[in-house]
Structure 1
Amino acid sequence: MSDPELMRALEAIVFAADAPLTITDIARHLGERGDLLPALRELADSYEPRGINLVERAGRWQFQSAPDLAHHLRVGRESVRKLSRAAVETLAVIAYHEPVTRPEIEEIRGVAVSGGTIDVLMEAGWVRPAGRRETPGRPLQYATTPGFLVHFNLSARRDLPGLADLKAAGLLDREPPTELPLPLGGREE
């Protein structure tokens, strides 16, 4: 069991933050305290059965409502956007190969990617520009966002299913889904 004062301080710091915090951010508030990861994990475990949870997403810690209680918090219904097969494939390529440029996406998919496809994924909050590649023409690179991880309930990209998992689920033998729920506030077209 960690020091109760340290646990209280961690709880207060993460709770009061206006954005998710890295361990470095948290350590800055505390002064040097050594390895905070075990204490953060212990605190997260203590919150797991409660209505709010302490979670780590993409190396940043935050409080969020428990996923199984989301239906109590929805103001409206989640809108469902029909994503084209191209959008689903493009999202998968970006998620598995990020950072990736449009020409690289086109090479992997074997077809051209329209600007609208990437715009739809950016509007959903799942994809973001990730700088420019240091090659001739300096093409723009794309990567997934923390919103992508949250929406698909992933802690990090390493939690994406592997090839064996996809084959076992039969997902490589059929069409990808064409409807994915948008984050709250998304609009239907």
Structure 2
Amino acid sequence: MSSDDKLKQIVEAALLAAGRPLSLDQLQGVFAEAETPDKERLRTALETLQADYQGRGIEVSEVGSGFRVQIRSEYAPWVSRLWTERPPKYSRALLETLALIAYRQPITRGEIEDIRGVSVSTNIIKTLTEREWVRVVGHQDVPGKPALYATTKAFLDYFNMKGLGELPTLAEIRDLESINRELQLKEPNMAEPGDEPSGDDDAAESVASLDADLSQKDEIAASHSGELPLQQSESE
């Protein structure tokens, strides 16, 4: 066995054993100091492994935290049946808040409320931070010093993205109603208590578009997260 083949097999074994994304630095850490490959060799091994997986049910994917072995998204409908517990359900308000943070970051809670036209529930922010999808990255230099929120690498990992540049432009996002028909999400959208329309049609349409894209990406995330796709309900 050549040294390159052995390196590829070590990388494959490490990714399968980790069960989470590994960065190039973390992959280097599995080797003894005297035999540590440089990052260029590791990338070559990963590219070879990706080629080996062509035409199979699994793939090597690069996400925010590094590289991982995952099933291909087209097989999610079958693999998801391995988990019989009910998936977590999130309200439209939570998905809208997450979408605004993803596209407008860094952003304050007050700015989110201005765009949506309603207050943001404390439980929504708590849920997003507990899931480690968003974090506080600073404070705005205004009275009260409101926290600035941004997405995390865990957010990128969950939605199967390498970086925020993979979020499509608003022009590429279809409307929420169309996406829901495609995903056959038959549950009605439930509002948060006190979540009344703001009357700002442009803002509402923009938020619905952002919400739609995250819903679409979440179906892809189900292929490797061990969770069923998010659905909209009145609970966070």
TM-score computed with the length of structure 1 as normaliser: 0.71
Are residues 1:133 and 2:118 paired? no
Shift in Å, 1:61: 1.2
Unaligned runs of 5+ in 2: 177-201
Are residues 1:42 and 2:43 paired? no
CA contact (8 A) 1:13 1:26 kept: yes
2 CA distance for matches of 1:174 and 1:145? 22
Aligned pairs for 1:1-189 within 5 A = 3-17=4-18, 19-30=20-31, 31-35=36-40, 36-70=42-76, 71-74=78-81, 75-76=83-84, 79=87, 81=89, 83-84=91-92, 86-122=93-129, 125=131, 127-133=133-139, 135=141, 137-146=144-153, 148-166=155-173, 169=174, 176=208, 180=215, 184=227, 189=235
Unaligned runs of 5+ in 1: none
2 CA distance for matches of 1:24 and 1:126? 22
**Higher strand content, 1 or 2:** 1
Shift in Å, 1:104: 3.5
What per-residue deviation string (whole Å, max 9, x for no partner) do you get for residues 86-142 of structure 1?
33331111111334332333344454323233234446x373323433746453333
Identity of aligned residues (%): 32
Shift in Å, 1:154: 3.1
SS at match of 2:29: helix
1 CA distance for matches of 2:86 and 2:155? 16
Shift in Å, 1:13: 2.2
* Structure-2 change in CA distance of 1:26 and 1:82 (3 Å): closer
2 CA distance for matches of 1:126 and 1:165? 27
* Structure-2 change in CA distance of 1:66 and 1:127 (3 Å): same
* Between 58-67 and 103-112, the greater mean CA deviation after superposition: 103-112
TM-score computed with the length of structure 2 as normaliser: 0.60
* Structure-2 change in CA distance of 1:21 and 1:113 (3 Å): same
2 CA distance for matches of 1:163 and 1:73? 29
**Higher helix content, 1 or 2:** 2
SS at match of 1:3: helix
Which structure has more relative contact order (CA 8 Å, sep 6+)? It is 2
